[in-house]
Amino acid sequence: MSALTITDLSIDFPTTKGVVHAVSDLSLSVGRGRRVGFIGESGSGKTTTALAVMQMLAEPGRVAKGSIVLGDTDMLALNEEEMRKARLRRVSYIPQGAMNSLNPIMRIEDQLWDGITAHEGTTDRAELKRRSDEALESVGLPARVGRLYPHELSGGMKQRVCIALGVILTPDLIIADEPTSALDVVTQRHVMQTLKDVQAKIGAGLILIGHDMGLMAQSVDELAVLKDGVLVEHGETRQIIENPQHPYTRELISSVPLVGGESFLDDEIGAPPVNRGKPGVPLLEFKGVSKTYGNVTALQPMSFKLDGEVPKIISIVGQSGSGKSTMGSLMLGFNPPSTGQVLFEGQEIASMNAAKSLEFRKQVQAVFQDPYACFNPFYRVNHALRFPFKQFGYAKSEAHIQEKMEEACTAVGLDPALVLGRYPHQLSGGQRQRLIVARALMLSPKLLIADEPVSMVDASLRATILKNIYDLKDRYGISILYITHDLATAYHVSDYVIVLYQGHVAEAGPPEEVIGNPKHEYTQLLIDSIPWPDLDRSWGTPSTATEDAERLDRLARENKTEFRGRVPGFDLDVA
Amino acid sequence: MRTIPTSYLLNRLLTLFLTVFIAATLIWIIPRLSPVDPAEIMLGRMAAGAGAVADSEAILAQLRANFGLDDPLFIQYLKYLCNTVTFNFGLSTATFPTPVSALIANALPWTLGLMILSLIVTFIIGNLLGALMVWEESPKLVKVAIPAAMVFTSIPPILSGLLLMWIFAANLRWFPLTGAYGLTVEPGWTWEFAISVLHHGFLPALSIVIVTFGFWALGMRGLMITVQGEDYVTLAKAKGLKPRYILYKYMIRNAILPQITAFALKVGLLIAGQVLVERIFAYNGMGKLLYDAILDQDFPVIQGVSFVIILMTALSVFIVDLIYPFIDPRIRHEAST
């Protein structure tokens, strides 16, 4: 018997501009104990379908036709109170972005208890405490976590709490909406294994929503591929991965960058790279730089020289909290180092005068993670492009600005007619992120700091945006520091890779060595944690998490560095 | 339960002290920038009362000496600071020789009573209404409250006061027109007196409530809309919690936090905002005292009242600083740096 049967489901969003068909004629069933992955890019209707099961469609969405049957209950026939009772008890929801899914002013255990109380009426503290401890333990969290507040937990722990909540009333169906999208690879693997483990224990059906084919391949039994609200392909995971029928499925599979696989960058050998460095003076230099916040060491002392004569892409990889973003903010001069000096073209950033500082800002540009937060929503996107260009004195005339904006848009693969003159909310995440790259490009900087530039855009777009960034190197002679947790893309774009662990360089060298053939255990762990769209490659077992934790502990104490060779124009030294 | 670290407490106390000190200095300086000589005003008042004053120069000098106006400014300032610490604001020039502190002591309980009553009522009504404007389950009727709240907020309190007086006191005769209590009742701890006070306080309080609830309601509405979009509210719904429980524990509980800070700041502002209300209702509170003092250029009283306003604002901010970590676990009592 199946846990969930969806038949001919259509969901409409009536808007002033006409009805949007978010989901059309979708039929699918999820068996008990089965894991089904809904995969597709944003706007494909995967989350909308899941929310329809919960009857939690955002306004003005409504089910136009079809049926949703959970066990033997017709979900669409339930009234509001009956539906409320079915939530959590019969179908639970594990939300995306665990960062903000818990009420900040309630203790964890209170947020587990109120769920139980709302459905069973139990208010006996001892009983509630026993059950919340049990639920926390089932997801690998100690019982004392219950007494904490959400802000005291890491992202991975918060997501585990959400999983504990999702299984606490042993529902028939669990819907997990990109439960690991905000987590780094190591944590992602642990959380996914926990989810699979508890789901198997209670024998519930699982709908896993996502856009990463690799993660899907390693996590689900069946795959449902959605595009523009239509189910384009559905079947056993192995069959779909190995023999995809629909071109869109093939595209999703090929968009996953592989270490050692074929490069997504078509490296045409064209004009030799533009040389824009000052001979003899390194473009960027760290001299014994370290950073501490209070008692916490974010970055241990390190020195490097990037000469910039031949533009390079240096990747800095690591988990969250490894110190990679700290490095980025030190380079941008947002933060002074605790010890040592950060120099740009021989000048210490911290002691620059106003004129030098302005020149530095011109020459060093940044692309950040969140393409939504980078634009002021009140202005058209032109403003973000035009303003720095004018402010730094590049603009000769309005026509010149316009010409440059169009040129920059074209360089990142956007049609200027389509994007210029629009407001940020009218553009997709991918378009916005490319505009951010275009903005940086207009100023023709010598150095670009790209901090997780593609981690918030759909997998299918990542390759294109990275290609845009990669092209800047040779075509415009821009040296790039690429900060990421994604080793597979770092492998393809970089000339040199630095793996950071707890503020310490674990391994460094050319990507073919460091990522292609890692020597340091930490790099190996990062690579093992990547979910591959390859079913014959093991992604670990539930016990992996404990082993990994022990490994990480030991590595933190060892503090050793593997140097794996050099590239001309970049010198790294670790004190 | 958390405790408040001593270093944090000392830090906050120092801030409190500095705020009050700087403000006290400012209210001493500002009236002295005015070209008016209070001694001359008193003399003028005496002259107006008696028809003419002989030997006016000698009287002026005498008055200046009495008020310490002939000391060098620095000495005047030091004396002022010493006196302020003991709540001795000198003697009123308008109702000479009543001490300012006695005037304030008489007026303060009336104002505090009226103010606290109306502020609390407004805070509750306004925030609840603001929350209901956003809540999905609330009756459609609540939506009407948005334009109403906006209209009322834009009315000056003096007009709402006059309107209420005209309807409920002059025409319907449900409430007395003016005063803080009936002329026939003896002030004291009796039921009769208490009822008279409530009866007299109702209209002034109401006139304050109807013009200020919109401030809270619209502010709360904005905060609630933000909270409504938060993931934790979506998850609360997915947990199948009861809508009312979500409203209180997940939405209002989070949205109210910035409003509490606003509440603390409003405490001081309210005395100032109440000036005209007290004036038209002839309510013997701080507002009326301040109003009369300004008319009479009664500097000691103006200074005294201003000081009390500052002290109350600073104290309420101080209290909110101390309790905030208890109502929002994300905020900590940061030890001083």
User: How far, in Å, CA of B289 to CA of A343, rounded?
Assistant: 64
Best to test chain A binding among B1, B233, B235 (most A CBs inside 10 Å): B235
C-alpha–C-alpha distance, residues A208 and B17, integer Å: 58
Interface test with B, best of A80, A89, A101 (most B CBs within 10 A): A101
Main-chain phi, psi angles of B123, to 5 degrees: -60, -45
> Is the peptide bond prior to B97 cis by the omega test (within 30 degrees of 0)?
yes
pLDDT the model gives residue B333 = 67
Give start and end residues of each alpha helix (H) in A35-107: 46-54, 80-86
d(CA B277, CA B110): 13
Chain A residues with CB under 8 Å of B238 CB are 54, 56, 87-88, 92-93, 95
- Whether the CB-CB separation of B246 and B232 falls below 8 Å is answered with no
Considering only CA atoms, which of A54, A58, A70 is closest in space to residue A22? A58
Residue reference for tokens 């994300």 = B330
Is the per-residue pLDDT at B192 higher than 90?
no
Query: Could you tell me where the beta strands, DSSP code E, fall in A318-404?
Result: 339-344, 347-348, 364-367
B246 Cβ under 8 Å from any chain A Cβ: no
**Residue B208 structure tokens:** 């304050």
CB contact under 8 A, B254 and A105: yes
Inform me whether the C-beta atom of residue B250 falls under 8 Å from chain A C-beta atoms: yes
Q: Which of B56, B52, B29 is nearest to B40 (CA)?
A: B56
pLDDT values of chain A reduced to their tens digit, one per residue, 575 residues:
689 999 999 999 888 888 888 999 999 999 999 999 999 887 788 989 999 999 998 888 899 999 999 988 999 999 999 999 999 999 999 987 667 899 999 999 999 999 999 999 888 999 999 999 999 998 888 999 999 999 888 888 898 899 999 999 999 999 999 888 778 888 888 889 989 999 999 999 999 998 888 899 999 999 999 999 999 999 999 999 999 999 999 988 888 887 776 676 765 555 556 666 667 788 999 999 999 988 888 899 999 999 888 888 999 998 888 888 899 999 999 889 999 999 999 899 988 898 899 889 989 999 988 887 888 888 999 998 999 999 888 888 899 999 999 999 988 888 888 888 889 888 888 888 889 989 988 988 999 999 988 877 777 778 888 888 888 888 888 999 999 988 888 998 999 999 999 889 999 999 999 998 999 999 999 988 888 888 888 887 767 777 888 888 888 888 888 888 888 888 888 86
Q: pLDDT tens digit string along B241-260?
A: 999 999 999 999 999 999 99
**Of B239, B233, B249, B247, nearest in space to A118 by CA:** B239
Q: Does A84 touch chain B (CB under 8 A)?
A: yes
Cα nearest neighbour of B326 on chain A: A105
Least confident span in A479-488, B151-160, B266-275: B266-275
Q: Calculate what percentage of chain B has a pLDDT beyond 70.
A: 95
Structure tokens at A113: 């208890």
* Tally of CB atoms within 10 A around A563: 15
Q: List beta partners, residue A28.
A: A6
Looking at residues B260-288, what average pLDDT do you find?
A: 80
Q: Kindly identify which residue of chain B lies nearest to residue A111, measuring between CA atoms.
A: B236
ipTM of the complex: 0.80
Tokens, residue B176: 């007395």
Domain ranges of chain B: 106-296
The Cα–Cα gap between A219 and B119 comes to 57
d(Cα A310, Cα A35) in Å, to the nearest integer? 50
Tokens 């309107």 found at: B163
Give the pLDDT confidence of B169-184 residue by residue, as tens digits. 888 888 887 777 776 7
Distance CA(A200)–CA(A370), nearest Å, equals: 35
- Nearest chain B residue to A169 by CA distance is B239
Query: Across A161-165, B38-42, B194-198, which has the greatest mean pLDDT?
Result: A161-165
| Amino acid at residue number B319 | I
Q: Which two tokens stand for residue A547?
A: 């082993």
Query: How far is it, in rounded angstroms, from Cα A422 to Cα A414?
Result: 13
How far is B197 from B178, CA to CA, in rounded Å?
Answer: 11
Minimal-distance CA residue of chain B relative to A83: B240
**Which residue would you say has higher pLDDT here, B335 or A33?**
A33
**Is residue A30 within 8 Å of A205, Cβ to Cβ?**
yes
Q: Residue B2: pLDDT above 90? A: no
Q: CB of A382 within 8 A of CB of A402?
A: no
Q: For A316, phi and psi rounded to 5 degrees?
A: -120, 115
Quick check: B330 and A149 CB within 8 A? yes
Burial class (CB in 10 A: 0-12, 13-18, 19+), B286: buried
Beta strand extents in A113-204 (DSSP E only): 173-177
The phi, psi pair for A302, rounded to 5°, reads -145, 155
User: Which whole-number Å values give the CA distances from A320 to A34, A256, B182, B245, B257, in the listed order?
Assistant: 32, 21, 70, 35, 30
Q: Among positive and negative, which fits the CA dihedral B201, B202, B204, B210?
A: positive
List chain A residues with CB under 8 Å of B250: 103
User: A383-410 burial, b if ≥16 CB within 10 A, otherwise e?
Assistant: ebbbebbeeeeebeeeeebeebbbebbe
Peptide bond into A60 cis (omega under 30): yes
Those residues with Cβ within 8 angstroms of residue A130's Cβ, 6 or more apart along the chain or in another chain: none
Residue A267: per-residue pLDDT: 58
Q: Which residues pair with A292 in a beta bridge?
A: A297
Identify any residues that bridge with A158 across adjacent strands, giving them in sequence order.
Answer: none
Is the Cβ–Cβ distance between A221 and A36 less than 8 Å?
yes
Give how far B151 is from chain A: nearest CA, Å.
27
Q: Find tokens 């109380």 and name the residue.
A: A117
Q: Is B143 on the interface with A (CB under 8 A)?
A: no
Residues 6+ apart with CB under 8 A from B319: B264
Q: Which domains does chain A have, with CATH numbers?
A: 2-254 (3.40.50.300), 284-380+444-520+560-574 (3.40.50.300)
Q: What is the pLDDT of residue B187?
A: 73
pLDDT for A291: 92
CB-based contact A104 B241, cutoff 8 Å: no
CA terminus-to-terminus distance, chain B? 24
Name the strands in the sheet holding A296-306, side by side, starting at the edge strand that comes first in the sequence.
A347-348, A339-344, A284-293, A296-306, A570-574
pLDDT of residue A98: 64
Between A155-167 and A108-120, two packed helices, what is the crossing angle to 10 degrees?
20
pLDDT: which is higher, B79 or A509: A509
CA distance A195 to A191: 6
CATH number, span B106-296:
1.10.3720.10
**CB neighbour burial string for A414-453, b if at least 16 within 10 angstroms, e if fewer:** bebeebbeeebeebebbbbbbbbbbbbbbbbbbbbbbbbb
User: CA A323 to CA A330: how far, in whole Å?
Assistant: 11
Contact A306, A508 (CB under 8 A): no
**Cβ contact, residue pair B231, A95, below 8 Å:** yes
Higher pLDDT, A231 or B275: A231
Q: How far is CA B98 from CA B87, B89, B91, B93, B95, in A?
A: 14, 11, 6, 8, 6
Q: Is the dihedral of CA A378, A384, A385, A388 positive or negative?
A: positive
